[in-house]
Amino acid sequence: KTKIILDVDTGVDDALAVLYALASPRLEVLGLTTCFGNVDVDTATRNTLALVALSGRDVPVYRGSEAPLLRPWSGPVPWIHGENGLGNAPVTASGRPAEEDAVHFIRRVVREHPHEVVLVPVARLTNVAKAFLFDPELPRLVRRVVVMGGAAFCPGNVTPVAEANIWGDPEAARIVFKSGAPVTMVGLDVTMRTLLVHEQLASMAARPYRALVQEAVRFYMHSYYAAGRVPSLSCPLHDPLAVGVAEDPALCTVRRYAVDVETQGELTAGMTVVDARADSAAEKNVDVCVDVDAPAFLQRFCAVLGMDASA
Ligand code: BDR
Ligand code: CA
């Protein structure tokens, strides 16, 4: 099994990623760490704890960052994730986060299992950046960092060129991308092509979390469809796809590029700048996902969560 730490700002697609990771037979989730982003960090932590309880698994949740490294937090996005982060579906709070904070947890666990732990940040990269700043050897001790974030050769989703997880803390993203750790970027290039359709959602078998998932994801699908971002009532599986790539890198075709993050630009802050020049001498630091076997991932995702992929 692949050991992962999943870092979330739960969030509807984060919720799907959490449930998928906890149920996947190929993954050992060592812990879930939380961050501000789609919602504030306390709401993200509460939502994550509620999902862990519904999954029936005993996996600890570690509270993380409240704000970006150098900027104020831009605030929640209720029009995409609902006021409570879960599409306004009723959430029953359950349990408490661990005493240890997310950054110390990440550092401790990576050091306990050198070269074994895959970090899967599907939120702002603030917690991972802090762990790397705190312990500069850490980038060489992780097995890989599989980031849901960025837009290499496609439009952004917050600005014309910036994706939310990078835009929301560009300095943190830059630190992680340039840390020397092996980084895989699961960006909008592939996540916007990995759509769960409402018929698949409706086919979900009875599970303790079915009512929550169906209500939350319906809200999320309607927001994407109303905004004209998807061709039918459906939603991109941004965060679950990063978990999928952590368990099976073959789901995506990657190309290695020199990638940097713009932190200053008047028009381009948060852009993932990919050096695709054939004769570039820049050191290649990121495996960029450029294509995805979406049907293969949908098949696996639906099987794990009790949905019918052919619905
Ligand atoms: C990313 O931003 C968040 O809203 C989602 O949860 C996902 O991690 C997509 O750009
Ligand atoms: Ca997220």
User: How do residues 64-113 score in pLDDT, each as one tens digit?
Assistant: 999 999 999 999 999 999 999 999 999 998 999 999 999 999 999 999 99
Q: Which token pair is 78?
A: 């209720």
* Whether 185 contacts 288, CB under 8 Å: yes
The predicted pLDDT at position 38 comes to 98
pLDDT of res. 137: 98
How do residues 24-42 score in pLDDT, each as one tens digit? 999 999 999 999 999 999 9
- Residues near ligand 1 (Cβ within 6 A): 11, 13-14, 38, 122, 148, 157, 163-165, 238-239
In contact, 172 and 214? CB cutoff 8 Å: no
| Spans of the chain below 50 pLDDT | none
**239 flagged as catalytic:** no
**Are residues 145 and 106 in contact, defined by beta-carbon separation less than 8 angstroms?**
no
Handedness of CA 186, 205, 304, 297 (dihedral sign): negative
Question: Which atom number of ligand 1 is nearest to the Cα of residue 239?
Answer: 8
From residue 179, alpha-carbon distances to 35, 109, 137, 299 in Å are 20, 18, 10, 34
Stated as kind and residue range, the H or E segment containing 80 is helix 78-81
Q: Are strands 27-34 and 2-8 parallel, antiparallel or unpaired?
A: parallel
Q: Sign of torsion, CA 204 294 227 16? A: positive
Q: pTM for this structure?
A: 0.98
pLDDT at 159: 98
Indicate which residue's Cα is closest to atom 10 of ligand 1: 164
- Residue 306 DSSP code: T
Question: DSSP class of residue 45?
Answer: H
DSSP secondary structure, 230-241, as one string: SSSSEEE-HHHH
**Which phi and psi angles does 237 have, rounded to 5°?**
-95, 65
Residues 52/6, Cβ–Cβ less than 8 Å: no
Which strand (E) or helix (H) includes residue 31?
A: strand 27-34
Of the candidates 25, 8, 64, 242, the one whose C-alpha atom is nearest the C-alpha of residue 144 is 242
For ligand 1, pick from 16, 47, 122, 185 the residue to mutate: most ligand atoms within 8 Å of CB: 122
How far apart are the C-alpha atoms of 122 and 32, rounded to whole Å? 11
Ligand 2 center to 64 CA (angstroms) = 14
Identity of residue 37 = G
Nearest in space to 33 (alpha carbons), one of 100, 79, 84, 95: 100
> φ and ψ at 101, to 5 degrees?
-85, 165
- How many residues are recorded in the chain? 311
What's the Rg (C-alpha) of the chain? 18
Two tokens, residue 194: 């990995």
Which neighbouring-strand residues pair with 109?
none
Rounded distance from Cα 278 to ligand 2 centre (Å): 33
Separation CA 8–CA 134 (nearest Å): 20
Site to substitute for ligand 1 among 7, 8, 13, most atoms within 8 A of C-beta = 13
Which residues 6+ apart lie within 8 Å of 303 measured at CB?
A: 309
Give the torsion through C-alpha atoms of 251, 34, 21, 153, to 10 deg: -10
